[in-house]
Amino acid sequence: MNRNDYKIEDTFLWGGATAANQVEGAYNIDGKGLSTFDIIPFFTKEELKDRTGLPSEISEDEMLAVLNNKTSHTNFPKRRGTNFYSYFKEDIALFAEMGYKVYRFSIAWTRLFPTGFEKLPDKKGINFYRSVIAECKRYGIEPLITMSHYEMPWVISDQLNGWESKETIELFLKYTKVLLDEFSADVKYWIPFNEMNMTLISPYHGGGIIPERIRSNNIQSASFQAVHNQFVAAAKTINYGRSIANDLQFGCMIARLETYAETCKPEDQLAALKEEQMNVFYYEVAATGEYPRYLDRYLIENTIEFEKNEAEVKLLKNNIYDFLAFSYYNTYVVSEKKNEKTVDGKGNGNLIDSQENPYVKISDWGWPIDSIGFRITLNRLYDKFRLPLFVAENGLGAHDTFENGKIHDEYRIDYLSDHIEALTEAVKDGVKVLGYTAWTAIDLVSCGTNEMSKRYGFIYVDVDDYGKGTYERYRKDSFYWYKEVIASNGESIK
């Protein structure tokens, strides 16, 4: 038996990630249209007390109040982000100073097609992203582009109920063909959709679906229809990309929800198995082109119906992805007694309810901290699908203290070093990993809670939840630490 000492290759893509709707700001500048995230206001802790779901989920009435200027809310953090739109050259220079090999960012659909229905793209939008890509290439940083990181034109939501409608497929393809025509000479790595499973967890976030307006028999049918339409749109995009270039790599991305059973009780183990299946069926489609058989029972038992025709089934079969991307923050605990004593979940801005795990610490926002879970997930996903993996997000949201230009974020260094150590162990276990883009490259607005104060970046941005501050950038201690990690290709992490 020949021994292999697997290790992180010199080609490993170390970097960081951001999302347009959370970092760019300039929400209505240079012709950009309103995105589904521009209408979500900031809710104070007080206001959140009597709300359920993610703090960034709002009702149709609340949307209409915002759109008709009849809302009492005046604070929309995602309209400001951390103003990457103006600072992008300075920010990318800082990423280069850290030694980034790759920078994962998303393109705002509404900068190219403000409503989604325009015939031709907006030149200013194309030029902005051409400049961002040129800045990356200047420093030898590989761009990894997310074509839709949740944000989509509000008008598509309003007129078609987002991804519930099949018409949205062609609108997306019109957009992605422009991206590929304009940028595929310089951009090799593409992720069509950020965290596809978000569409089932939060239909508005992931699919632009306004629950009060669904055309399907129930919200799950509408969400499954949206996921299927997204798979079709991604397949058409991949098909087009491969017809114009032969070196493009497409990744299917999910929010990885690594789930433990609360006890060795068989019923708890079965509950964990079912959660696992609902988290990875997206990868089944990405890696095999088919929906798995276990989904059929779930659809029947939940009276879920969605349309998929023969041509679409064939399209999925003929457009397998090149890699599997995922975000990893923490692990979850499930038991058969599903709804009792959940300690984490949408109230903390997390994605699914979880029982307590007494063996791990938790973050400032109540998210478990479990680096061994990261090694487990890397093994489990690679063993099952045998496609190269890409860690598209991993990081710690925390309160940072700014004191005369310094930010001593040793807690973030601890989190990241433990997780990069786990990554190294997984690679030694034989797992093929293409790269790691920490969440986030630079402080930006939290997706789930709309807070600036939930900071993830290696770079501190002087702005608060209300947009007050200089927007000046400052290197945190973790900036210098990560620079060493990259320079040593993951060797010096402690």
CB 189 within 8 A of CB 143: yes
The smaller minimum CB distance to ligand BGP, of residues 197 and 335, is found at 197
9 is catalytic: no
Contact call for residue 449 and ligand BGP (CB under 6 A): yes
To the nearest whole angstrom, how small is the minimum distance from the Cβ of residue 378 to ligand BGP? Answer: 18
Which positions from 373 through 432 interact with ligand BGP, judged by CB under 6 A? 393, 397
> How far apart are CB 133 and ligand BGP at their closest, in Å?
20
Question: Per-residue x/- marks for ligand BGP, 171-210, CB under 6 A?
Answer: -----------------------xx---------------
Task: Decide: 14 and 435 in contact? Cβ < 8 Å.
Answer: yes
Site for ligand BGP in 17-46 (CB under 6 A): 19, 22
Under 8 Å between Cβ of 439 and 456: yes
DSSP 112-144: HSSSS--SS--HHHHHHHHHHHHHHHHTTPEEE
Q: Position of tokens 């347009």?
A: 20
Nearest partner of 183 among 118, 116, 136, 236, judged by Cα: 136
* Bond before 440 cis per omega within 30 degrees: yes
Q: Is 443 left (phi over 0), alpha (psi -120 to 50) or beta?
A: beta
**Tokens matching residue 467:** 């947009």
Q: Is 110 helix (H, G, I), strand (E, B) or coil?
A: helix
Q: At closest approach, how far in Å is the CB of 433 from ligand BGP?
A: 19
Using CB under 6 A as the binding criterion, the count of chain residues that bind ligand BGP stands at: 15
Q: Which is nearer to ligand BGP, 291 or 328 (CB)?
A: 328
As a whole number of angstroms, the distance between CA 7 and CA 429 comes to 9
Judged by CB under 6 A, which stretch of 184-192, 292-300, 330-338, 445-453 contacts ligand BGP?
445-453
The residue within the footprint of ligand BGP, chosen from 448, 455, 458, 476 (CB under 6 A), is 448
Q: What is the dihedral of CA 373, 415, 473, 56, to 10 degrees?
A: 40
Among 184, 174, 220, 175, residue whose Cα is nearest residue 199: 220
* Binding region for ligand BGP (CB under 6 A) out of 8-16, 81-89, 134-142, 440-448: 440-448
Residue 273 or 343 having the CB closest to ligand BGP = 343
Judged by CB under 6 A, the stretch of 8-16, 169-177, 335-343, 444-452 that binds ligand BGP is 444-452
Strand 13-17 with 102-106, pairing: parallel
Neighbours of 62 (CB within 10 A): 15
Q: Which stretch, 151-159, 170-178, 272-280, 448-456, contacts ligand BGP (CB under 6 A)?
A: 448-456
Residue of 24, 81, 57 lying closest to 446 (CA atoms): 81
Report the residue number, 161 or 440, with the smaller CB distance to ligand BGP.
440
Contact 102, 15 (CB under 8 A): yes
Smallest separation (angstroms) from ligand BGP to the CB of 194: 5
Interface residue with ligand BGP, options 81, 347, 349, 490 (CB under 6 A): 349
Residue with tokens 């309160």: 399
Nearer Cβ to ligand BGP, position 271 or 325?
A: 325
Residue 327 vs 335, nearer CB to ligand BGP:
327
- Does 454 bind ligand BGP (CB under 6 A)? Our answer is yes
Q: How far is the CB of 181 from ligand BGP (least distance, A)?
A: 26
Burial class (CB in 10 A: 0-12, 13-18, 19+), 113: buried
> From residue 246 to residue 275, what is the string marking binding to ligand BGP with x (rule CB under 6 A)?
---------x--------------------
Q: How many helices (H) and strands (E) does the chain have?
A: 17, 14
Closest-CA residue to 162 (of 314, 36, 322, 269): 36
> Residue 255 Cβ, how far from ligand BGP at the closest point, in Å?
5
In the complex, minimum distance from the CB of residue 287 to ligand BGP, in angstroms, rounded to a whole number: 21
CB of 147 to ligand BGP, least distance (A): 14
CA gap 489, 9 in Å, rounded = 8
**Using CB under 6 A, which of 327, 335, 377, 424 touches ligand BGP?**
327
The residue from 447, 452, 459, 463 that contacts ligand BGP (CB under 6 A) is 447
* Residue 27 identity: Y
Choosing from 164, 195, 262, 312, the catalytic residue is: 195
16 touches ligand BGP (CB under 6 A): no
For ligand BGP, which residue of 197, 259, 377, 446 counts as binding (CB under 6 A)? 446
Count CB-CB contacts under 10 A for residue 64.
Answer: 14
Going from the C-alpha of 246 to that of each of 18, 79, 331, the distances in angstroms are: 27, 37, 37
In this structure, the chain runs to a length of 494
Catalytic option among 142, 312, 393, 451: 393
Least distance in Å: CB of 182 to ligand BGP?
24
Q: Greatest CA separation found in the chain?
A: 71
CA–CA separation, 15 and 104 (whole Å): 8
Stretch that binds ligand BGP, among 60-68, 227-235, 409-417, 447-455 (CB under 6 A): 447-455
Catalytic (active site) residue 393: yes
Binding interface with ligand BGP (CB under 6 A): 19, 22, 194-195, 255, 327, 349, 393, 397, 439, 446-449, 454
Task: List the catalytic residues.
Answer: 195, 393
